[in-house]
Amino acid sequence: MCVLNLNCEEIGFSQHMIPLSEAKIGQRVQVQNLDADDPVYQRLLAFGLTPGVEVRIAHVAPLGDPIAISFCSQKVMIRRADAARVMVEEIN
């Protein structure tokens, strides 16, 4: 992961895709266009999590799961396992 990250920066890419579950608390990320008929993503889409929307990891529960994400002036909680299916791009 670390290596990949370095490479990306070296060649001047700002894009670095990670699953939403890997984002750190307080981190801002951007949602990618997904081709998934995934029930979690369908729900999140209805909440306004369309591609390009900025998401912030607002809270992480004491036992590490679930997480609370905030986007479009709302806060929702989802489990890590579900968040793992949403790919995001780190914003530098």
Partner 1 sequence: MEKISEENSCRCGKKHCCEDADVPEAVPAAKPSGLPNVALVGNANTGKTTLFNSLTGLRQHVGNYPGVTVTKYSGPLKLFHGEKIELTDLPGIYSLAATSKDERVVIDVLSGRLAKKGTPRPDAIVCVVDVNNLQRNLFLATQVAELGIPMVLALNQIDMARRDGLTVNTDLLRERLGIPVIAVSARKGEGIDALKQAIADVLKNGNKMKTVSWNAGTRKALETLRGGLSEEVSKRVSDAELQRVIFDVASLVANRLKGEDIEYIGELLKKSRACIREAGENPHSTEAIQRYAFIKEILAGTLHHGKERTTFTSVFDKLLLNRVLGVVFFFAAMWGVFWCIYTLAAFPMDWIDGWFGALGESVGAKLEGSPMFQSLVVDGIIAGVGGVLVFLPQILILFFFLGLLESTGYMARAAFLMDKLFGWCGLNGKSFVPMLSGYACGIPGIMGARTIEDPKTRLATILAVPFMSCGARMPVYVLMCGVLQRVLAQNPSYAESSASIASAVFVGMYLVGVLVAVPVSWVYTKFILKSKAAPFVLEMPRYQLPRLRDVGLRVWQSGWEYTRRAGTIIFAMSVVIWFLTYFPRSEETAEQARAEFVAEAAAAQNVPAADFEKMLAAAESAEAPSEAQEALVGELEHRIDGAWMEDSYIGRFGKFCQPVFAPCGFDWRITVGVLGSFPARELIVSTLGITYKLGGDVDEETEDLYAAMEKTTHADGSPVFTIPVIIGIMVFFALCGQCLAEIVVIARESSWKWAGIAWAQMTFLAWLGAVLCCQIGSLF
| Residues lying near partner 1 in the complex (CB under 8 A) | 33-48, 50-51, 58-66, 68, 72-79, 81-82
Q: Give Cβ neighbours of residue 40 (< 8 Å, ≥ 6 apart).
A: 78, 82, 83, 85, 86
To partner 1, the closest distance from the beta carbon of 88 in angstroms equals 14
Is 16 or 59 the residue whose CB approaches partner 1 more closely?
Answer: 59
Q: Give the integer Cα–Cα distance in Å for 12 and 55.
A: 23
To partner 1, the closest distance from the beta carbon of 55 in angstroms equals 13
Is 4 or 81 the residue whose CB approaches partner 1 more closely?
Answer: 81
Is 10 or 37 the residue whose CB approaches partner 1 more closely?
Answer: 37
To partner 1, the closest distance from the beta carbon of 16 in angstroms equals 22
Angstrom CA distances, 51 to 3, 19, 62, 89, 90, stand at 27, 14, 29, 10, 13
Q: Which helix (H) or strand (E) holds 66?
A: none
